[in-house]
Structure 1
Amino acid sequence: MRPYRRMLVLAAGVLLVDQATKFWATSALSDGESITVIPGLIRLRLLLNPGAAFSTGTGVTWVFTLAAAAAVAVILLVGRRLRSRAWTFVLGGLLGGATTHLLDRLFRPPAFAQGHVVDFIDYGGLFVGNVADIVLTVGCAFLLLLSLRDVPLAGVPGKGLPSA
């Protein structure tokens, strides 16, 4: 399977798992229910987040919609030059996470392009996230690592990201 197609398949997997878990969360946790997974560390509780990480920027949801759309577009464009297996997995995860957040922003209440992201994994009261957030965080960490190690995206030694 070609790297671009592999990236798309991985992104679709992330999107499906994230949306399925959000569907479960909105069904099972919608009455303010909380489920303890690891006492003091992780519990499941529903939070509809209009902002970004740590609920910042709640008044500018449309900015996050545009940022997610731009991220999806850039990854789709850059992904066409993939030759590296490591970059394929990183960009696939980032594409899946950005796409599922974009879909939340576009189609969830309260309004088109101003939707709230479904968060439900509470990390000891520090913050609440979802599956896509986990994938995005890990993907960004590996993106940084691959960039620092100068791992080529397009299979050309000595070149990190290709020019557009």
Structure 2
Amino acid sequence: MKGYTRPITLIFLILLVDQISKFWVKLNMTIGQDFTILGNKFLIHFIENPGMAYGMEFGGEYGKLFLSIFRIIAVIGIGYGLHYMIKNKYHRGFTLNVALIFAGALGNIIDCVFYGMIFSESDFYTKAVLFPEGGGYAPFLYGKVVDMLYFPLIEGNFPTWFPIWGGEHFLFFRPVFNIADSAISVGVVLILLFQKRYFKEEHKEEESVNSEMLED
């Protein structure tokens, strides 16, 4: 288990926080309801996303089914890749970043796979119930992802001289997301920022092993 402790612990913590936050929102808020955290700059804003991360959608029932199956296949692939990286002693920072991506992907898969079966429907007037008598709101693989983190940091209108959107209203940052989405984004960004460091050290290790083999 050497080398697996930190990635597994990180995955467990991300999943725990992600699922606790989603359960709380689902059971205590109605769709569209807000709780302000930092004035109007950070809100808990409950929406459900039938599609991809950050509120993007992928067409219709067949699109939803395809997306759920694709997510499951992707997370299996990421999990295998993470196991391979740990086993072959890739850079620790790199494996932790991949663990973040894996945890985020798995967190949203849990929503898609199980939430439709264990929760009643949420709407603008009614809070969801866990394990309702009449069954859940959707079959296996058709659950909706719970999103709640909303950061409308800057709001205003583009200047009239601005190309294309002149005079139109704008809002930054518009997407509503969750802990799982955040984990995926952070993992990807850190890999992009530190890729030279990660793969430079791997290259040095390969050169060292090759030189030792030649000397023998």
Same fold (TM over 0.5): yes
**Would the alpha carbon gap of residues 58 and 4 (structure 1) be closer, same or farther in structure 2, given more than 3 Å must change?**
farther
Unaligned runs of 5+ in 2: 117-137, 153-170, 207-216
Question: What is the Cα deviation at residue 92 of structure 1?
Answer: 1.3
Percentage identity across paired residues of the two chains: 25
Q: What CA distance in whole angstroms lies between the structure 1 residues aligned with 2:191 and 2:45?
A: 30
Tell me if 1:131 matches 2:164.
no
| TM-score (norm. length: structure 2) | 0.65
Work out which of the residue numbers 188, 193, 198 in structure 2 matches 1:140. Answer: 188
**Would the alpha carbon gap of residues 154 and 107 (structure 1) be closer, same or farther in structure 2, given more than 3 Å must change?**
farther
C-alpha RMSD over aligned residues = 2.4
Which residue matches 1:111? 139
Question: What is the Cα deviation at residue 154 of structure 1?
Answer: 9.6
Tell me if 1:157 matches 2:204.
yes
Which residue matches 2:34? 34
| TM-score (norm. length: structure 1) | 0.83
Mapping of 1:1-164 within 5 angstroms? 2-30=2-30, 32-52=32-52, 53-59=54-60, 60-80=63-83, 81-82=85-86, 83=89, 84-109=91-116, 110-124=138-152, 126-147=174-195, 149=196, 151-152=198-199, 155-157=202-204
**Would the alpha carbon gap of residues 31 and 51 (structure 1) be closer, same or farther in structure 2, given more than 3 Å must change?**
closer
Unaligned runs of 5+ in 1: 160-164
Partner amino acid for 1:67? Answer: F
Counting matched residue pairs gives 158
Question: What is the Cα deviation at residue 116 of structure 1?
Answer: 0.4
Question: What is the Cα deviation at residue 2 of structure 1?
Answer: 2.3
Q: What CA distance in whole angstroms lies between the structure 2 residues aligned with 1:137 and 1:100?
A: 13
